[in-house]
Structure formats: C-alpha cells, structure tokens
Structure 1
Amino acid sequence: MKGIVLNSKHPDKIEIKEVELPRLKPHEVKVKIKAAALNHRDEWCRRGLYPARIDGVVLGSDGTGVVEEIGELVEKDWLGKDVIINPAKHWGNSQKAQSEEFQILGMPEHGTFAEYVQVPADRLKEKPLHLKYEEAAALPLGGLTAYRAVFTQGKISEEDKVLVTGFGGGVAQFAAQYAIAAGAKVYVNSSKEEKIRKAISLGAHGGFNYKDKVWAADAISQIGGFDLIIDGTAGDTFDDLTKILNPGGRLIFYGATLGNPSSINARRVFWNQLTIQGSTMGSDHDFEEMVNFVQEKKVIPVVDSVRPYSNAIEAFEKMSEGAQMGKLVLTF
C-alpha cells in the first residue's frame, strides 16, 4: 500500500512510498481509509519537535473508512461497516488520567495517512450517519480532546458563560461547537476577525481579537466574566485568563503552545476559589460519549479543505503557517 511516512533525510521530511503492513493479528481489523485529517502532532513530527520519532512510520491519527478484513477473534459484524478510529491507545483503567503505556496512533506505530490501517477492533466506532467521510475524518483526536476538556473536566452546564481561546484550531473549534450544542453562552477569541465571524455563524454569542491589548477588559465590561474557559496556549496569557474568570470559575487547558507562564497570581486563584485543571486527549469512555454526543446533536466538524493524499505537502505547509480555518483533510 501507499502511505505518507516520516523521512528526516527528505527535503520535505515526509514522502509517499510503498509500505508493507504486518500480518493481521487475531484481535485486529484492516480498515480501508477513505479520509484522514491532519493534527499539529503530524506537523511537529515532520519538523522534528516530537519525541522518539521513527523514520518510515506512517503518520496520521485521524481517520475514517470501511472495514475490509478482520482477525479471527473479531466479530464478523464489523466487516463492511463505515467506522471512525479512536487514536488513543492503552489509556488504562482510570478515568482520571492516562497510563504510562498511553500512545497515540501515528507514531510510533503506523497511522492513518495510508490506503489501509490495522488497529485493534476495540478502537472502532461506527461512523455517525450524518457525517460524510471527510467530516468524520476530522473528528477523532481534536474532537476527543475537546470533549474531555469541555465535559469531563470542565463540567459544562447550560448556565455557563464560556470562553474558548484560539478559535480556528482543531480542538478549539470542537470545544466551541460542543459548548454551543450543550446550550451554554459561548464566546471565543482569535487573532483573525474572519475566524471570530465563523464562530458567530456557528452559534457563538461573540468574540474578541486577542491582539487588542484591552480585549480582556472589554470582555469584563461586556459580559462580566466567564464561568468556564477552555485554553490550549498557556504562556504569559494564562494569568490574564484568571482575571476574567468569575468566582468559582474553571480554567481547563489542554496545551501550552506558548510555553509555561512566567507568573501566576496565586492569591487571585485561591481567593476566587478558581479551578485550574489540565486535560489531555481522553479515555475510551470519553470517546464513546463524544461519538454519541456528536450523533445526537448532529455536530458537523468544520473542514478547511479537502485534497488528495498526493498533495499532502500542501496541507502540511498550510498547517505550518496556521492559515487553516477548521481541519485539513486528505482523501485516499
């Protein structure tokens, strides 16, 4: 089969080449990939920013397709089904946090940027019927991360005023969509006005351009503060977010793309009874609930663009520039 593999010696750091899959194990299935989506993780692997990279491994964590072959211990009902793949492996038995053996599909094991992928059957869920392949491919990693942040850790309610930072990225996009579908009053921030307008078109009440130095003050004057903030950047903006949380508010963060905060006002945190909670991708239970929620609420992922896998480098470059609005999808 053809796959998009990591090659640190190639000028583009990735290449399309023939890959031979190992023999199917008894508990595994072979999925014919119809569509797969990029995540920042894939670009970080390409740029050498991800630990323990292995040349020759097929990248990609997000994927959807049709089950074409099953191992001898797999229920025959899976054959021919449209499925999406849970990319989180070896989460463990605790809902509180992942195990030390936790892995994500696409490094160090072959991922979804190929004509086929082999995964344990327990990684499969039926594709929500209302989603096209290209939409369903956008869901797994970002959708799961957002679901855990918003529901498992954030414990969102209809009464909440919610801020999602950095709208336009995959996780932030899903976090906003989920919060809107849950009935909360949702706001976003972004550096681009067109992304704020997109959020409003999806049902957000408004947004703020974080390049404006007084955006936080404007948020306080207009809204009075937030009950829940979902953040993926941290850095020196992190302490500012605690200023716009209401007493008893929750700040859930799933990433630190701006690095560690240089300072944080501990007195503000304890005096206002704030909760600061880290969050990651999510458990198998989170994934099942996420798929059910997406199906029930008919959530449709925002897709920036779709292109054949032969043009994958274009998608990687667009992600590197941060120019996408929604998910970048490859078809196979």
Structure 2
Amino acid sequence: MKAVQFHGHGGHDVIQYDEVPEQPPGPDEVRFRVKAAALNHLDVWTRRGMPGIDLEMPHTPGSDAAGVVVDVGENVERFEQNDRVAVSAGVACGRCEFCRDGEESMCVRYQIIGEHRPGVHAEYATVPADNLVPVPEGVDWEVAGSASLVFQTAWRMLVSRADLSPTDSVLVLGASGGVGHAAVQIAHHVGGEVYATASSEEKLGYAADCGADHVIDYTEKNYAEEIRSLTGKRGVDVVVDHVAGESWSDSLGSLAKGGKLVTCGATAGGQPHTDVNRIFWNQLSVLGSTMATPGEVDDALSLVWDGTFEPRVREVVPMSEAARGHRMLEDREGFGKVVLKPDSEL
C-alpha cells in the first residue's frame, strides 16, 4: 500500500509517497481503508521536529482520517467489516489517576496518533479500536476525515475549559485555520457575541459566514485596540488563542476583568511576553487545553454529523502531493481544512 512518509525532519523535500508494508490489526485494533484524511498544523510541526519527541524514521504522519473498516482484531466488539469510521487521535493509557477520573486528555502517558506514533495518511491505517468513532451514513468523507481533531480541540477549549455561557463574548484568533474556524462555529452555537481575526477580506468573509458577529483584519488593525473600541473599553469574556508569540500580550489586553484566555498551541512561538500585572490586577484566568475526552469527542462530532458544524474544506489534494498541502498550511493559503485523498480514491 501507499503512505505519506517523512524520511527525516526538515522541509518539504523529506515528504514522500512510498510503498509500505500493510499492517494487520492487533487484538485491540482496527484496520480501515482511508477514504479521506486531513492536514493539521501538527503535521507541519511533526515534520519539522519538536523537542522531546524522538520519532523512528521513516514516519507516517496524520491525525485525521475516515474510511471503511476492512479487518478487526479478535478483542474488538464495537466495529465490524464495512463500518464507516473516523479517527480520534488521542491515545490514553487508561490506568493513571487522570484516566481513572475521566480526564483522558490529561493522561500522563498521553500520545497523539501522527505525532508520537505512526499516523493515518495512507491508503490503509491501523489504529486502536478506542480511537475510532462511528460515522453515520450520509456524512461526506471529506467532512468525516477533517472534523475530529479541530472540533474536539475547540469544543474542550470553549465548552469544558472556558465554561462558555450564552452571555459571554468571545474573541477567536486565527479564525481561518482549523481550530479557529471550529471555535467560531462553537462559540456562535453556544450563543455568545463572537469576534474573529483573520488576514484578508476573503478570510474575514468566511469567518463571518461561520458565525462571527465582528471581524478584524489583524494585518491592518491592532485587534486589542479594536476589541476595546467595539466593546466600549470593556473587553471580551473569553479569548481563544492558539497563536501566542507576539500576539499574547494583545490577547491578555483584549480581556474584560475576570476574563479567560484559553490556549491549545503556540504557532507563533511558545515563549511569549506575559503581563503578569494585568493578570493579577484584572483577575484573569489563563487556561491550557489539549485534545478532548471521549465524551467530549462524541458531543462535538454529533453536531458535525447532523450538520450543525461544518469543517470548511479549502482544497482536496492527492496524497502524492502532500508536500503541496503542507505548503498551503505554512503559507496560510485559503480558509479551513486541506483534505488529502489516497490517489487510488481519486
């Protein structure tokens, strides 16, 4: 079978579409034929290399995919041949204090498929049965293969960690990206006033279409100043920041007293300047968030399957052109998700 592989850490030249051995499922695993997969910034970071993660090369990336079950391990009872499934990429040990308390995404041995272990950007993929969710008939493969990682992440950030209420106002940074456009939809669904930043008129239009009430071009305006102006100097109740870097201070500056900044990543840099005085004086909360629990995954994806939420697809790319997909993410081209399909499915 064919699979996308990194033959080392580096630029786009390390990405190949190789012939690899097929992997039969273990006792607790499921093997499925991939119908559609999706790229995330996590794939870019994994390709470049991250401190503390030593991967065996070549490495198959990919945390998002959906397809049809072809084989199951002897202990698997939840799935059978021809079932429609999608990947939920967080792997927990099931034994530590956090897993036993129902907080699997805080597991002390937590891993993510495609980052810490082989991923699913391939014609066929084999994963633990616990890392699959059923996909109803009628859900497009492009939707099923691109929703899980970003919608579960945004759901936990806003609903569980920030405890968003219908009276809260929310600022979402980078609304054109995967997590960003999912967060806009979730915030709009809960019912709060939604503000969103993006870098072009086209992207701002898409953000508004996803539910943003106010859009801000961060390349033309300081978004913290704009938030203060739009809210009568009050600020917003929640900021979704997966960017960090130089924007971190402006994110804190956009919050109302008692506000919450929730973060799941740092695409612009993980060592930002922090205004501690502002945090304690305004009694702000800074909340970290990673992936989601199985129950949160079910809650978020049920609203994707019924059409309430929609992963916007900017382009469908053959897996053999995965390098082009990586380039699109890095160059911030377009709005929403880049979907990969095995060349055999095109």
Mapping for residues 1-332 of structure 1, pairs under 5 Å = 1-8=1-8, 12-49=13-50, 51-75=53-77, 77-90=79-92, 92=94, 93=99, 94=101, 95=103, 98-129=106-137, 131-224=139-232, 225-260=235-270, 262-296=272-306, 298-332=308-342
Residue range with higher mean Cα deviation, 70-79 or 275-284:
70-79
Q: How far apart are the structure 2 equivalents of 1:106 and 1:301?
A: 20
Query: In 2 relative to 1, CA 90–314 (structure 1 residues): closer, same or farther, beyond 3 Å?
Result: same
Query: TM-score if structure 1 supplies the norm length?
Result: 0.92
Q: Which amino acid aligns with 1:4?
A: V
For the 8 Å contact 1:70–1:76, the answer to whether it is kept is no
Q: How far apart are the structure 2 equivalents of 1:215 and 1:87?
A: 33
Root-mean-square deviation (CA), in Å?
Answer: 2.1
For the 8 Å contact 1:236–1:260, the answer to whether it is kept is no
Deviations 1:116-164 (A, max 9, x none): 1111111111114553101111112222211111111111111111110
Q: How far apart are the structure 2 equivalents of 1:260 and 1:83?
A: 34
Q: How far apart are the structure 2 equivalents of 1:231 and 1:246?
A: 15
Extract unaligned runs of 5+ from structure 1. Answer: none
Query: TM-score if structure 2 supplies the norm length?
Result: 0.89
For the 8 Å contact 2:105–2:291, the answer to whether it is kept is no
Task: Tell me the percent identity.
Answer: 34
Residue range with higher mean Cα deviation, 29-38 or 249-258:
249-258
Deviations 1:185-213 (A, max 9, x none): 21101222221111112221111111234
Q: Which amino acid aligns with 1:69?
A: D
For the 8 Å contact 1:238–1:261, the answer to whether it is kept is no
Deviations 1:272-328 (A, max 9, x none): 221111111222232122222333562111111002212222212212212131110
Q: How far apart are the structure 1 equivalents of 2:193 and 2:307?
A: 16
**Deviation of the 1:21 alpha carbon:** 3.3
Q: Which amino acid aligns with 1:114?
A: A
**Deviation of the 1:46 alpha carbon:** 2.5
Q: How far apart are the structure 2 equivalents of 1:91 and 1:328?
A: 30
**Deviation of the 1:11 alpha carbon:** 7.0
**Deviation of the 1:81 alpha carbon:** 1.2
Q: Which amino acid aligns with 2:196?
A: V
Residue range with higher mean Cα deviation, 57-66 or 295-304:
295-304
- Structure 1: 4+ residue segments shifted above 4 A: none
For the 8 Å contact 2:315–2:339, the answer to whether it is kept is yes
For the 8 Å contact 1:129–1:295, the answer to whether it is kept is no
Partner SS state of residue 59, structure 1: coil
For the 8 Å contact 2:241–2:261, the answer to whether it is kept is yes
Q: How far apart are the structure 2 equivalents of 1:57 and 1:134?
A: 24
Deviations 1:55-83 (A, max 9, x none): 22211110000111111111275321111
Partner SS state of residue 78, structure 1: coil
